[in-house]
Chains A and B, each alone.
Chain A
Amino acid sequence: MPNLHDIERRINSVASTKQITRTMEMVAAAKIRRATERVNDALPWAMAVSDMLINAAKHAPMDSEPLLQVHDEVKRALVVVVTSDRGLAGGFNSNVLRHAEKLIREKERQGVEVEVVACGKKALGYFSYRNIKPVMEFQGLSADPTYEEAAQISAYLAEGYREGTLDEAIIVYNHAKNAAEQRLVEQQVLPVNQQSYADLLGLKPKEEDVFASFREKDDTIPPGDLDFEPDAESVMRYLMQAYLRNAFYFALLDSAAGEQGARRNAMKSATDNANEMVSTLTRVYNRVRQGAITTEITEIVGGAAALEE
């Protein structure tokens, strides 16, 4: 049976751990607010780019923009894996990394050569250990992602896709569904798939009846032509580049918010566990203390009885 001093030391140790986890929980909660503000700040630009794309797509020739084309065969793919720089966030990183590795192996089995972009120290460590050398790596930015990071990834992807050295791009990250819940997302950025293409550009599936648009007037398109300056190709090129940057920037922002949410959850569980452990240890401490007192009293009473005899 442990002595009183040992139990007291253990209670103090757990209490100080609890203080740390509680502080980390509060810091993570504050960082969630900052991450949410960052997403809100980025929204006007993102919405404007998507709005411009939708409007331009209704009037622009779509065949000319290489980023809107689908390559006949996928030979090389880019997988962008977004994790955090630090741990203590439950299964936040391991979920993403396990899924990303499975995806990479699956692509390789299909004969596709995979290039990896590692965002966050955890991703970098994981891939280095498995002898996968990322083409691009970013560290120290997971909690405060920058637009420059997204711009670099999208520049590399756009160049590769235009030249034909890359045929597909996928991001794997945690989406912050709300402050407490994260959902693993595998998002295909390029080629823009039919569903997101329709969502992104507001386009309807091609109709067999070519006169349908004349019979059923679409009020969302104002009458008249849309002018492009200097030309439709340059405008679509700029907007698609901006769309790519947005896709990566929002994945990074979303993951940063999710990281803080996951850390707050993990630290809350740790604090709850510490509380439970402190109360259990306190009970044990009291029982041992009570036992010691009882023993002492018994000894005194026993001693006094022996003297009386």
Chain B
Amino acid sequence: MATLRCTVAIPTRELFSGEIHYASVPGAEGGYGVLPGHEMLVSADKQGVLTLWLDEAGNDRRRFLLYEGAAQVYRDTLTVLGRFGTDLDTLDVEEVKEKAEALRQQIEDLEGQDTEQARVALENCQNHMAWYDLQLKVASEAAQ
């Protein structure tokens, strides 16, 4: 069966690169599936789990949690980008909790400042915090 070339990346590194049979992408208006021969598409994505089927039956899967990004299907190549992203199989909940705690402290500090830079930094931190919350939510749902 035909395959798709797929790349998953976040700004600081590549999360996956290889051939896949099917992908379930979290789109802005709900998830959609991508098979080889899919029409050309560029989408702005929100947040959610990207699932890649590495074999035809879907027994070998990779799952990535992504937060804000874009996806493109062009000439049988799927590119999925996330502002933040992680491999769900290697998600370390304790580490996320620690980082979230440190960031919470930083947000408290920024809230007391009224400079333009602090405002922009605060927005950025809140985005980051939303990403940590999403990871913790998905991890707790998986644990139940």
Contact = CB atoms under 8 A, between A and B. Distances in A.
To the question of whether A and B form a pair in one complex, the answer is yes
Given A55-B72, A148-B124, A156-B120, A224 B7 contact: no
A260 to B, nearest CB: 19
B5 interface: no
Nearest to A234: B44
Nearest to A154: B120
A136 B17 contact: no
Q: Interface residue tally of chain A, by bracket? A: 35 or more
Contacts of B79: 48, 51-52
Interface residues of B, number: 31
Nearest to B43: A229
A20 B40 CA distance: 58
Contacts of B40: 55, 222, 224-227
Q: Is the interface of B mostly helix, strand, loop or mixed?
A: strand
A152 B10 contact: no
Contacts of A56: 42
A48 B117 contact: no
Among B27, B70, B79, B123: residue with most chain A CB under 10 A: B70
Nearest to A48: B79
A246 B81 CA distance: 13
A224 B74 CA distance: 11
Interface in B7-26: 7, 9-14, 17
Contact of A51 (B39, B41, B72): B72
Contacts of B10: 45
Contacts, number: 104
Given A51-B72, A55-B72, A151-B124, A238 B44 contact: yes
A239 B13 CA distance: 18
A42 B27 CA distance: 24
A249 interface: yes
Interface string A234-269: 110111001001100100000000000000000000
Interface string B102-144: 0000000000000011001101100010000000000000000
A192 interface: no
A126 to B, nearest CB: 18
Given A148-B128, A156-B116, A227 B11 contact: no
A37 to B, nearest CB: 10
B42 A228 contact: yes
Interface of A: 38, 41-42, 44-45, 48-49, 51-52, 55-56, 135-137, 147-148, 151-152, 155-156, 222, 224-230, 234-235, 237-239, 242, 245-246, 249
Given A155-B123, A230-B44, 16 more contacts: A42-B11, A42-B12, A44-B13, A48-B7, A49-B70, A51-B72, A135-B117, A222-B75, A227-B41, A229-B41, A229-B42, A230-B28, A234-B28, A237-B44, A239-B70, A246-B11
Interface of B: 7, 9-14, 17, 27-29, 32, 39-44, 70, 72, 74-75, 79, 81, 116-117, 120-121, 123-124, 128
